[in-house]
Each structure stands twice: as structure tokens, then as C-alpha cells.
Structure 1
Amino acid sequence: MFVYNKDITLEDLGEGISRKVLAHNDNMMAVEVHFESGAVGALHSHPHEQLTYVLSGKFEFTIGDETKVVEAGDTMYKEPNIEHGCVCLEAGVLIDNFTPMRKDFV
């Protein structure tokens, strides 16, 4: 029921991106993703619904055919199978929430 951030190892994904898989079950998952300035979250899609909350930093996000700049406090919804990705403009952290959980992350 309780997941302590201090107990989770930050996984280096390379190219300026790292992540921590936070609390999850079969139905949902929270993930903390750290970006260095200039890091690129490549365009991709997946069958999961996703909400992304910008905890800190500034990002240029593309979701489908739309590209916008977002910063701390902003939230984005990504429907299943929609192509999306980002470029980090100022180092920051995203909190991604998925439903169902991303089995490929654990």
C-alpha cells in the first residue's frame, strides 16, 4: 500500500532519461521519469491510457497531430494507441500514470 520514493532505484534508460516505477497493480501504474535538458522521448504508441503530470521542467510534447509546450503543473491525456513523444526544453520530471499497468516496465 505504501511505496517510498527513497527506496526505489532510479533506472538509467540512457540518453538523458531515467525512471522510477512507483506504486502499481494490474490495473494501474505510476512512473516518475527524469529528463535532462535536450533529452528526447521518442515518438511511440502503446495500448495503455496515459496521464502525464509535469512535476518540474519544460517540455515540447507531441500527441497525435498536435505539438505544444508544457511546464510544471500541466497535465496531458494520451488515449490508447495514439503516437506521442517529447523534447525536454528545461530539465524536469514527469509523473506518468498508466491503465492498465505497463508489464514491460517491471
Structure 2
Amino acid sequence: MFVYNKDVVLEEFDNGPSRKVLAYSENIMTCEVHFETGTVAAMHNHPHEQLTYVVSGKFEFTVGENTQIVTAGDAIYKEPNVMHGATCLEKGILIDNFTPMRKDFV
């Protein structure tokens, strides 16, 4: 299956990042997440494994007890049920991959 980014609607949320749900199946999902400087993804957890790739921008990520600054080209792994969150320090885009897919996103 092919998913063309230009055909996917960017979902905007109050005081949070905007998201495009791209390709997915029951087992895996890819999302593109847009952040403005200062946007916070509040600390949360979920039963999904998550890999995040930083396309652009600068972010302060907390995963569990570890807080790091990441920029374009960096990646972050989040184990299931581990608390994590981020603050956007410079406007940017992340690619989030989840397994299994996030049913709450569709």
C-alpha cells in the first residue's frame, strides 16, 4: 500500500503537536508529528513500543528518568509502559513508529 503525504490531512490539536497518521496495519503504524517551538507533549505512557526519528528541529525528550536534547537525524526508543514526553525547543517534525498500531489514533 502506498500513502502519499500530500493526501493525508494534518490533524491539529489544542496546545499540542499536529499529526498525520500515515501507513499502518494492525502490527505497525507510522505518524508524522509537527511541533511549534514551545509545544509540549505531556508525560504519558502506553502499551506500544515506539521509535521516534527527528526529521527537523530540536527537542528535549524525557524517557523514564533520562532527559536528553535531540536534533535532526537522532532517534529515541520508548519501551512499552515507560513514561515519556517532550518539549520542542526549535520548530520541527518527528516520525513516530508504533507497534502494535495505535487504535486510538484512527
Point out where structure 2 has 5 or more consecutive residues left out of the alignment: none
Confirm or deny: 8 A CA contact 2:3 2:23 kept in the other structure: yes
Query: Once the 2 structures are TM-superposed, how far is the Cα of residue 16 of structure 1 from its aligned partner?
Result: 4.5
In structure 2, the partner of 1:86 is 86
Point out where structure 1 has 5 or more consecutive residues left out of the alignment: none
In structure 2, the partner of 1:69 is 69
| Alpha-carbon RMSD | 0.6
Could you state the TM-score of these two structures normalised by the residue count of structure 1?
0.99
Query: Once the 2 structures are TM-superposed, how far is the Cα of residue 15 of structure 1 from its aligned partner?
Result: 1.2
Identity of aligned residues (%): 69
For residues 47 and 15 of structure 2, the distance between their equivalents in structure 1, rounded to whole angstroms, comes to: 25
Q: Deviations 1:39-91 (Å, cap 9, x if unpaired)?
A: 00000000000000000000000000000000000000000000000000000
Task: Name the one with the larger strand percent.
Answer: 1
Could you state the TM-score of these two structures normalised by the residue count of structure 2?
0.99
Kindly report structure 1 stretches of 4+ aligned residues shifted beyond 2 Å.
Answer: none
